[in-house]
Amino acid sequence: MIEAEKLTKYYDKVAAIEDVSFTVEKGEIVGFLGPNGAGKTTTMRILTGFLPPSSGTARVAGHDILTNSLQVRRRIGYLPEAVPLYTDMKVAAYLEFVAEVKGLERRERRRSIGEIMEKCRIVDVQRMLIGSLSRGYRQRVGIAQALLNNPEVLILDEPTVGLDPKQIIEIRQLIKELSGQSTIILSTHILPEVSMVCQRVIIINNGHIIAVDTPENLTARLQSSAKLLLTVDGPVGQVEEALTQLPGVLRVEPRDEARDATVSFVVESERSRDLRRDVSRLIVDRGWGLLELRPADMTLEEIFIRLVTEEHQEVQ
Ligand SMILES: Nc1ncnc2c1ncn2[C@@H]1O[C@H](COP(=O)(O)OP(=O)(O)O)[C@@H](O)[C@H]1O
Ligand SMILES: [Mg+2]
C-alpha cells in the first residue's frame, strides 16, 4: 500500500532524510518513531505527494508520487503536524468545505460528513466554532477532515502531540478503531505510543531508518541477554556474591534498597538459559527470603536509546 524507495530530501545542502526505504502493507497500522528532527514530517509530506523528494520515489495506494501525485492525493487522508483549521468556521461547515474541495458530490457529502462526525465523536460540537474547541476536539476535526474522501491510506503526523492525557487516550482509541478500514502510518516521538497503537514500528534517526520490526520483535531482537528482577530479604553483599557465582549468570546489579531493608537485583543471564529455578533454590537454601522474581523485559525506550547510540557509534 506504501512503498518508499530510497527517499532522500535535501534542504539546501543538508539531507533531512537519506535513502529512506520501507513498505506498509494494506490494512497495517505502522508507527514512524523518532526524536524531533529525525525526518518524520519530511518523509510523510513526501508520501502525500505535496513535497517532492530530491531523489528516490514512492508508490502510495498503487500510484507513483512523482508521476501521479494527483491520484495519490485522492487516495490519502493527511493530518499535518500543525492542522490548518479555519478557526472562525463552524465544525460542520468546515467539513462541508473540505468535502467540496476534495470533490465529493453534494449528496455523498451529507452522508459522509454525518458518518465521519459520528465516528470521530464530534456530532455534539458540529455547530461550534473551531476556534472555541479544545485541542482534543480540534484534533478530532483534523482527523475527520482527513477521513472525508474515504482514503485508502491515512497519514497522521504526530496525532497526539499537545493533547492532555485523557485526550491522548481518546485519540489513540479512535486511531485503533480506524485501523480496520484504512492503512495507517502515524508518526510519534513518544515511545509507549507505538507499542500501544501500532503493529509495526519504523525507527528513524538523523534521517536514516535504523530499524523496522514489530514492537515485540524489537524487544526480542535486541535482548542479547535475559534479565530477571529479583527482590530478596537478606544481606546485600552476600546475596550479590552468591548470585554472581551461580552458573549462567553474566552480571548482577543491585537496585535501590527499599525502606524495609529488602534489596532488588537485576540478574542478567545468557538468553537461552532460564535461571529462575536455580535462583529461587539458591535464595531459599541460604535461608533468605525470596520476595519477588520475574523477567525484566527491556522497554522499547531502552531499545531506542540503544539503537540511537549504536547508530551514532557507527557514524563516527
Ligand atoms: N523547510 C525546511 N527547511 C530547512 N530545513 C528543514 C525544513 N524542514 C525540516 N528541516 C530539517 O530537516 C530535518 C528533519 O525535519 P522533520 O522532517 O521536520 O523532522 P521530524 O518531523 O522528525 O521532527 C530537521 O533537521 C529539520 O531542521
Ligand atoms: Mg515532525
Q: In terms of C-beta density within 10 A (0-12 exposed, 13-18 middle, 19 or more buried), how is residue 261 classed? A: exposed
Looking at residue 316, what is its pLDDT? 37
Q: Which ligand is nearest to the CA of 34?
A: 1
CA of 188 to the centre of ligand 2 (A): 8
Probe ligand 1: pick from 7, 8, 11, 20, max atoms within 8 Å of CB? 11
Region 196-200: mean pLDDT is: 89
Report pLDDT for 310.
56
Q: Chain-centre distance of CA 261, in angstroms?
A: 39
Which ligand has the nearest atom to the CA of 17?
1
Tens digits of residue pLDDT in 66-98: 999 999 998 999 999 887 778 899 999 999 999
Model confidence pLDDT, tens digit, residues 121-135: 999 999 999 999 998
Question: What is the pLDDT confidence band of residue 184, given thresholds at 50, 70 and 90?
Answer: very high
Radius of gyration, CA atoms only, the chain = 25
Atom of ligand 1 nearest to the CA of 81: 21
pLDDT digits (tens, 9 = 90+) for 258-297: 666 688 888 988 777 788 999 999 999 999 999 999 887 6
pLDDT-above-90 percentage for the chain: 54
Domains defined for the chain, CATH in brackets? 2-220 (3.40.50.300), 224-296 (3.30.70.3190)
Question: Mean pLDDT over residues 11-37, rounded?
Answer: 93
Q: Does residue 31 register a pLDDT over 90?
A: yes
Residues in contact with ligand 1 (CB, 6 Å cut-off): 11, 16, 34, 36-42
Question: Residue 315's pLDDT band (boundaries 50, 70, 90)?
Answer: very low
Identify the pLDDT of residue 300: 61
Ligand 1 atom with minimal separation from the 204 CA: 22
pLDDT tier at 44 (50, 70, 90 boundaries)?
very high
Burial 94-111 (b: 16+ CB within 10 A, else e): bbbebbeebebeeeebee
Closest-lying ligand 1 atom to the alpha carbon of residue 38: 22
pLDDT at 202 over 70: yes
Pairing of strands 263-270, 183-188: unpaired
pTM above 0.85, yes or no: no
Average pLDDT, the chain: 87
pLDDT in tens, 104-118: 888 889 999 999 999
Q: How far apart are alpha carbons 68 and 7 in whole angstroms? A: 16
How far does the centroid of ligand 1 lie from the alpha carbon of residue 37, in Å?
5
